[in-house]
Each structure stands twice: as C-alpha cells, then as structure tokens.
Amino acid sequence: MIRIEDINFDEDYYNLLIRFLNKTTGLELGYYQRRHIEKRIKSRMIRVNCDRLELYYKYILGNPTEIEKFLNSFNINYSTFFRNWGVYEQFEDLILKSVNYSRSDIFSDLHPNLERKYIKKSKKNSSEIENKKININLKHKLRNKLSIEKFIKQSSLFKKLRDFSNFKGTINIWSCPCARGEEPYSIAIIIDNLMKQIPQFPEFRIVASDIDENAIERAKIGIYNEESTKNVSKYNEKKYFSKKKEGFGFNYKLNENIKEMIEFYSEDVMKRHQTSLIYDIIFCRYLFIYINRDARKRFLKILERRLNIGGLLFVGKTETILSSQSNLKLVDSLNRIYMKIN
C-alpha cells in the first residue's frame, strides 16, 4: 500500500496532467488552490497504486474512466437545495421586509424535513424531532431579526421595492456558480411561494451560471437524489417535487414551473458572462474556498462590477472575502452577506 509521503510529485508531469484535464473536461484547474488539487491527485494515485506522477499521468491517458473518478473525487459540483437553510430564510426575510410584509402575513416553511434525515441515522421519536425543530426555529428567527434591521434600508432590493405596486422593473438575481441547479431553484421556490400569496408581487429575473456543461445539463433536467434534497422542507417537497422510487431510495423531480423560472448559462465567468445585467443580489457560495488568491481577486472584481450600489453578495458560510480590496462591506456576518456600498 502506497503512503501519501512516498508519492513523487514531478512538476513537469503535474503541468501535463493539468493541461490534459483541461482539454478533456474543460475544467480550469489553474483557478484552483494548488494544495487542493494536489490532495485530490494524491488520493487517486493511492487508489490506483501509482507512486509517481508520471505513472498516474500515463494511467489516466490509458483509462478514460479514471477522468470521471478524478472529477468525482474533486467533488467540485457538490451542492444541495437550501444549503445552510437559515441563509435562505434570511433571503426570504429580506424580500418580505422590502415589500412591507411580515412572516405572519404569509405561509412559508423552510425547515429541513428532519424526519427524513433521522429515519436513516437513528430511530428518534417524534417529540424529540419536534423539540429540535422549535429550537432551530427560535435561534434562526432571533438572529435574522437582529441583523436584518441594520442594512436592509440601504439595499437596492429595498429601494426598488419600497413602493412595489408601482415598480415596473425587475429584481435581478444571479446564482454563480450554480452547480446542478440546486441553488437557483431554491431561490425560485422561495419567490414562487411568495408570489402566490402577495398581490402585485414584483418581477424577479433569476440567472444561473456554471463553467461545467454537464452540471448545467443536469440542472435543466431537474431530477435530484436524496442527498441533494435533504434540506428541503416537507411543505416544499410536497408543493414543488414529485417523488419516485428509484432502486433502494427515491428521486425527486422538480416541477416544470420552477424550472422555467431560471435562465441557465454554461460559461467560464472568469472570462465572460453572457448577460449585460446588473444584479441586486448575487449568490456566489462555495467557490472562493476552492480557488487560489489570484482567481479570488479577479472573481471578486467581476462580481462587484455586476452588483448595483446597495446590491447584496451572499458567500458560503465558511467563506470570507477580503473586503479591503473592494467596495463590499460585510453586513451580516452570520449569513455571510456583503453589500456594495459605492
């Protein structure tokens, strides 16, 4: 068995491998952190018993199925519906506040379907699940309420919607990168639910981009497994998905009306974005953690240029951006929301 410390990592073969993967998959590994790529390559080398990069390079050339395995080990497209669902609750609160509605005026439930999670892990009884739900609910409500008041009035969302019955434009939202569609579809589900309950609800345009063509094709199909739908609430599952038995588990087919709400683009956003829109909200979650310092700086500039003054940028819960290099100010540290200030 090869040990990680015995692996010989030749620079020339590293460059050859990166070029080969870029040509065959379109993946721009040059944007990613070197240590992240190296870790993935080494773990694949151990699996296929190669202690030198030269051997692994030759192995991958002769075994096309290894390309797929390498990409899977990278786990770059990982996403779930309502990932960190409290962030989506905050997003919903922002919209509600902007149109001068409160939670008690509408019906919405974003709580993950805890029963579905617990069935697999343990046999928790229903009162335990209920208590857990109540605790999560209270914690999120309190935190959201505290942070939202501070910045909502400066946001372009609020300014556009203050008098929304006379508002003729659109609220533009960009999910970038969107992986297999879980993120933009979560946004669309929230908007659809509000739209059905609030008269004269404004128009939202939701754009979603990813560099990975296959991920975009999968997004357009809109069928998901149990892992990617694990945070969908019972209410949203019933309302927006049809559940079908598949092997030992289930798959979840998203309703057509939600699919139609998204404009998908397969594109390398670092090079170009195919719309000329300026956005009120951008979700750019779980990309910054993978990419290197240079790529992060470039990406941030691109996002900043695409935001309205008062536009909001949502990044991943574990991500921090260097706002000293931009006009972006952290306005909600719990949910990692930045605002473009000028």
Q: How far is the CB of 78 from ligand SAM (least distance, A)?
A: 5
Binding site for ligand SAM (CB under 6 A): 28, 31, 76-79, 83, 177, 179, 183, 209-212, 215, 268-270, 285-287, 316
Shortest separation between residue 178's beta carbon and ligand SAM, angstroms = 6
Shortest approach of ligand SAM to residue 63 CB, angstroms?
23
Q: Smallest distance from the beta carbon of 266 to ligand SAM, in angstroms?
A: 9
d(CA 308, CA 339): 9
User: Between 212 and 280, whose beta carbon lies closer to ligand SAM?
Assistant: 212
CB of 221 to ligand SAM, least distance (A): 15
Q: Which is nearer to ligand SAM, 292 or 316 (CB)?
A: 316
Task: Read off the amino acid at residue 79.
Answer: S
Token pair, residue 118, equals 């617990």
Whichever of 144 and 209 has its CB closer to ligand SAM, that residue is 209
Q: Closest distance between ligand SAM and the C-beta of residue 62, in Å?
A: 26
Q: Which residues contact 102 (CB under 8 A, 6 or more apart)?
A: 96
Q: Are strands 262-266 and 203-210 parallel, antiparallel or unpaired?
A: parallel
Q: Which helix (H) or strand (E) holds 123?
A: none
**Type and span of the H or E element at 241:** strand 241-246
Q: Using the minimum distance from each CB to ligand SAM, give the nearer residue, 270 or 277.
A: 270
Using the minimum distance from each CB to ligand SAM, give the nearer residue, 51 or 319: 319
Nearer to ligand SAM, 240 or 286 (CB): 286
Spatial contact of 260 and 191, defined as CB atoms under 8 Å apart: no
Tell the smallest beta-carbon distance from residue 174 to ligand SAM (Å). 11
The span from the CA of 157 to the CA of 239, in Å, is: 27
Which of 28, 21, 11 minimizes the C-alpha distance to 291?
28
The answer to whether 250 touches 244, Cβ cutoff 8 Å, is: yes
Give the whole-angstrom CA distance, residue 85 versus residue 91.
10
Which residue's CB is nearer to ligand SAM, number 99 or number 206? 206
The one-letter code for the residue type at 217 is: E
User: What is the C-alpha to C-alpha distance for residues 100 and 163, in angstroms, rounded to an integer?
Assistant: 9
Asked whether the beta carbons of 232 and 241 are under 8 A apart, the reply is yes
**260/328 Cα distance (integer angstroms):** 32
**What is the smallest separation between the CB atom of 133 and ligand SAM, expressed in angstroms?**
23
Strand partners for 266: 210
Distance CA 111, CA 113 (A): 6
- Tokens 């899977």 sit at which residue? 72
In this complex, which beta carbon is closest to ligand SAM, that of residue 28 or of residue 51?
A: 28
Q: Based on CB atoms, which residue is closest to ligand SAM, 148 or 211?
A: 211
Residue 35: CB partners within 8 Å, gap ≥ 6? Answer: none
Tell me the closest approach of the beta carbon of residue 102 to ligand SAM, in angstroms.
28
